C-alpha cells in the first residue's frame, strides 16, 4: 500500500502535543450528561408537535395510508413528504416495536444519537486540535440553546443529519491519515444515507466537496499521483458515483415534486433572501431567534439586550472566520503546505459558507431547522479562528492565553445566558406545544364518531398516540380531494359546505382557538371552522359545541363541534 505522508503535520502553527490529562474523558462525559439533562428537561411536559411526529405513521407500519406516506415502494416508505425521506421512520420501526409509542421513545433516541455525534466530534477535534479544544467545542454545543432545541424535538429531522455530517468528516480525516480507500467508500455510503434522510442534504454534499477542494486539494493531487491504479479507480468511483447518485435522486424528486422551488429571490430581489439567510444564521447561532418565533413570549421577562447581542456576536464570529481563512489561503499560496489543524479549519469554513450560499439560492430555506445545517461548522470555525488570532497577536504568550481565555469565557457566558432563559421559558407553556393537545388526544381516544380536523395542527399527534387512523380526517378528504391531508383556504368554505350537506351521518369537527389580544392576528391560521359551520347550520344541520379545551395564554386551544342531521 502506498501511503502519502502528510507534511503539514510537522508544521503545526499551534501546539496540540500537550498530553491528554486523565480527567479528559470525565469532562467529556460531563458535557454529554449536561446535554442530556437539557434535552430531557420537561421532556414529557412539552407535548408532542405536529412536525415532530411526521415520521411516526410510517414508522408504525403506515397505520394510515395517506398521512406522510408521500412515496412508497409497495408497503415500504421512501419519502414522507416532498423533501423528507423515510430513514428516520426505518430507524424507529424497531424502536416502536420494542418500546411502544411514547414521548420518551420518540424523543430520547435522537438525544442519544446526538450524544454519540458529540463524542465522535470530540474525538476528531482532539486528534487535530488537541484535547482542550475538543472539550471547548463540545461544551459550547452542549449548552447551545438552539442546538439542544433542534435535536431534542428534531423537527428537521436534524439529529440524524448532524450525526452523518460528523461521520463523513471523521472518515475523511481517517483517509487523510491512512490513505485507505475503504474510508472513501464509507463516506459515499454516509452521504447517500444523508440524502435519503432529506433531500436538502445535497447542500452538505456540495459543501463537502467544496471543502475538499479548498482545504485538501493539493494533498488529494499528491495522493492521486502516488496511488496505484486500482486505488485511484476505487476512490474515483466512490466519490464520483456518490455525487452522481445523490444528484440523480434529487433531480428526479425535484422534477416530480418541485422540492426546491423555482426562484432565486422574490419580488424584492436577491438582497431579501441574502439578508434573510444571515439574519436567521445570527438568530439560530445566538439562540435569540429561537426564543422569539418558537415560544412567543416577546420580550416579557427576557433581557432585551440578549436579542440584539447574540446574533451580532454570531455574525462577527462568521466574519472572523472569513478573515482567518483568507489569511491561511494566502499563506498556503506564498509559503507552502498548511498545518493539518489549519486545513481542518479551512475545511469547516468552506463547508459553512458553501451551505449558507446554497440556502441563499433556495427559496424555501427560511426556517431555523434549515439553518441548523450550519452545525457544527459554525462552532468549529468560530472557536478556532479566535484561538488562531490570539496566538498571533504581539506580546507575551501568557497575555495571549489570558486574552483567549477571556474571549472564550465571554462567548460562553452569552451561551449560558441564552440557555438560562430557554429553561426559564420552558417552565411556561410554549406557543405551539400547549398541553391542550394531550387533553384532545384523551378526549378523542374513546369516541366512536369520525373527527374532521378543520383548524390546528393535530393530525399526526392524534393518529400516532391513538393509532386509530380511520377516525381522523382533514376537511379536504370529505370532498374527494386527491390527497387526504390538504390545506383548504377560507375562500373554499361556501363550496365545501354545499358538498358536505350531501353527506349523511354525524361528525365531530375540531377547530383551533387562539386567545390572542384584541386586534392581533393568530399565526399559522388559514381559516377557522365557524364560517363553514354557520353555512351548514343555515341549511338545517344541528351544530353544537361539545368540548372546549383551553390552551395556554397566546397558545392553541381546541373547540369541538358535533354536526348531525
User: In the chain, what are the domains?
Assistant: 158-427 (no CATH), 435-564 (3.40.50)
Alpha-carbon gap, residue 4 to 181, rounded angstroms? 12
Count of beta carbons in the 10 Å neighbourhood of residue 101: 18
H helices of 445-551, where? 459-466, 493-500, 529-538
Say whether the peptide bond before residue 62 is cis (omega within 30 degrees of 0). no
Mean pLDDT lowest among 72-86, 239-253, 507-521: 507-521
Grid cell listed for 245: 447518485
Rounded to two decimals, what is the model's pTM? 0.85
Alpha-carbon gap, residue 472 to 459, rounded angstroms? 7
For 562, list phi and psi in degrees, rounded to 5. Answer: -100, 130
In the chain the first and final C-alpha atoms are separated, in Å, by 81
Cα Rg for the chain, rounded, in angstroms? 26
The closest of 351, 358, 371, 370 to 169, measured between CA atoms, is 351
Q: How confident is residue 52, by pLDDT bands cut at 50, 70 and 90?
A: confident
Residue 44 has, within 13 A of its CA and on its CB side, a CA count of 5
Determine the pLDDT at residue 11: 40
Contact 365, 200 (CB under 8 A): yes
Query: Does residue 395 have a pLDDT over 90?
Result: no
Alpha-carbon gap, residue 458 to 452, rounded angstroms? 11
The average pLDDT across 379-407 equals 87
Alpha-carbon gap, residue 370 to 363, rounded angstroms? 11
Grid cell listed for 282: 445570527
Alpha-carbon gap, residue 242 to 255, rounded angstroms? 20
The closest of 38, 45, 72, 230 to 152, measured between CA atoms, is 38
For the range 123-126, what are the long-range contacts, defined as Cβ-Cβ under 8 Å and sequence gap of 24 or more? 123/170, 124/166, 124/169, 124/170, 124/173, 125/380, 126/20, 126/24
The closest of 511, 505, 516, 503 to 545, measured between CA atoms, is 511
Q: How confident is residue 271, by pLDDT bands cut at 50, 70 and 90?
A: very low
Torsion of CA 196, 201, 206, 208, to 10 degrees: -100
Determine the pLDDT at residue 36: 95
Q: How confident is residue 359, by pLDDT bands cut at 50, 70 and 90?
A: confident
Grid cell listed for 384: 478556532
Three-state DSSP state, 351 = helix
Element (H, E) at 512: strand 507-513
For 127-172, write each residue's pLDDT tens digit.
Answer: 999 999 999 999 999 998 889 988 988 887 899 999 999 999 999 9
The bridge status of strand 71-73 relative to strand 76-79 is antiparallel
Grid cell listed for 11: 508544521
The bridge status of strand 472-474 relative to strand 450-453 is parallel
Q: How confident is residue 292, by pLDDT bands cut at 50, 70 and 90?
A: very low
Count of beta carbons in the 10 Å neighbourhood of residue 411: 18
Strands of the 507-513 sheet, one edge to the other? 472-474, 450-453, 507-513, 557-564, 542-549
Amino acid at each position: 500500500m502506498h501511503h502519502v505522508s502528510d507534511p503539514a503535520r510537522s508544521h503545526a502553527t499551534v501546539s496540540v502535543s500537550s498530553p491528554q490529562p486523565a480527567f479528559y474523558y470525565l469532562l467529556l462525559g460531563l458535557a454529554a450528561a449536561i446535554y442530556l439533562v437539557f434535552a430531557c428537561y420537561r421532556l414529557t411536559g412539552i407535548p408532542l408537535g405536529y412536525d415532530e411526529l411526521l415520521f411516526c405513521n410510517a414508522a408504525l407500519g403506515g397505520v394510515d395510508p395517506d398521512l406522510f406516506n408521500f412515496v412508497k415502494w409497495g408497503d415500504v416508505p421512501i419519502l414522507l413528504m416532498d423533501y423528507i425521506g423515510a430513514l428516520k421512520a426505518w430507524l424507529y420501526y424497531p424502536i416502536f416495536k420494542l418500546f411502544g409509542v411514547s414521548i420518551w421513545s420518540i424523543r430520547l433516541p435522537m438525544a442519544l444519537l446526538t450524544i454519540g455525534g458529540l463524542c465522535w466530534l470530540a474525538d476528531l477535534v482532539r486528534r487535530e486540535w488537541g484535547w482542550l479544544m475538543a472539550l471547548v467545542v463540545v461544551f459550547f454545543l452542549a449548552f447551545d440553546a438552539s442546538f439542544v432545541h433542534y435535536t431534542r424535538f428534531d423537527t428537521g429531522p436534524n439529529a440524524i443529519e448532524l450525526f452523518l455530517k460528523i461521520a463523513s468528516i471523521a472518515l475523511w480525516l481517517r483517509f487523510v491519515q491512512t490513505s485507505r480507500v475503504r474510508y472513501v467508500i464509507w463516506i459515499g455510503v454516509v452521504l447517500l444515507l444523508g440524502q435519503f434522510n432529506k433531500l436538502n442534504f445535497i447542500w452538505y454534499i456540495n459543501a463537502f466537496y467544496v471543502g475538499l477542494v479548498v482545504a485538501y486539494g493539493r494533498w488529494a493531487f499528491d495522493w492521486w499521483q502516488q496511488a496505484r491504479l486500482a486505488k485511484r479507480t476505487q476512490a474515483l468511483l466512490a466519490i464520483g458515483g456518490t455525487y452522481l447518485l445523490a444528484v440523480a435522486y434529487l433531480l428526479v424528486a425535484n422534477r416530480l415534486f418541485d422540492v426546491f422551488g423555482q426562484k432565486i429571490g422574490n419580488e424584492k430581489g436577491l438582497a431579501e433572501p441574502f439578508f434573510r439567510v444571515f439574519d436567521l444564521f445570527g438568530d439560530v447561532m445566538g439562540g435569540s431567534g429561537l426564543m422569539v418565533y418558537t415560544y412567543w413570549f416577546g420580550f416579557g421577562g427576557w433581557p432585551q439586550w440578549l436579542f440584539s447581542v447574540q446574533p451580532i456576536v454570531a455574525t462577527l464570529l462568521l466574519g472572523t472566520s472569513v478573515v482567518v481563512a483568507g489569511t491561511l489561503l494566502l499563506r498556503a499560496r506564498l509559503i507552502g503546505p498548511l498545518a493539518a489543524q489549519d486545513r481542518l479549519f479551512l475545511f469547516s469554513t468552506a463547508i459553512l459558507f458553501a451551505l449558507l450560499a446554497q440556502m441563499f439560492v433556495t427559496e424555501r430555506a427560511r426556517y431555523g431547522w434549515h439553518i441548523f445545517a450550519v452545525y457544527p461548522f459554525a462552532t468549529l470555525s468560530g472557536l478556532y479562528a479566535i484561538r488562531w488570532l490570539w496566538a498571533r497577536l504581539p506580546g507575551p504568550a501568557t497575555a495571549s492565553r489570558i486574552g483567549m481565555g477571556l474571549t472564550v469565557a465571554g462567548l460562553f457566558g452569552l451561551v449560558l445566558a441564552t440557555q438560562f432563559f430557554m429553561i426559564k421559558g420552558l417552565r411556561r407553556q410554549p406557543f405551539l406545544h400547549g398541553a391542550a393537545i394531550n387533553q384532545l388526544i384523551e378526549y378523542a381516544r374513546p369516541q366512536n364518531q369520525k373527527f374532521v380536523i378543520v383548524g390546528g395542527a393535530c393530525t399526526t399527534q392524534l393518529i400516532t398516540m391513538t393509532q386509530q387512523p380511520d377516525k381522523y380526517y382533514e376537511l379536504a378528504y370529505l370532498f374527494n380531494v386527491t390527497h387526504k391531508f390538504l390545506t383548504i383556504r377560507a375562500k373554499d368554505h361556501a363550496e365545501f359546505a354545499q358538498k358536505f350537506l350531501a353527506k349523511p351521518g354525524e361528525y365531530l369537527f375540531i377547530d383551533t382557538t387562539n386567545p390572542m389580544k384584541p386586534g392581533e392576528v393568530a399565526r399559522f391560521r388559514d381559516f377557522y371552522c365557524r364560517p363553514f359551520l354557520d353555512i351548514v347550520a343555515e341549511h338545517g344541520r344541528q351544530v353544537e359545541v361539545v368540548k372546549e379545551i383551553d390552551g395556554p395564554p397566546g397558545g392553541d386551544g381546541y373547540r369541538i363541534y358535533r354536526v348531525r342531521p
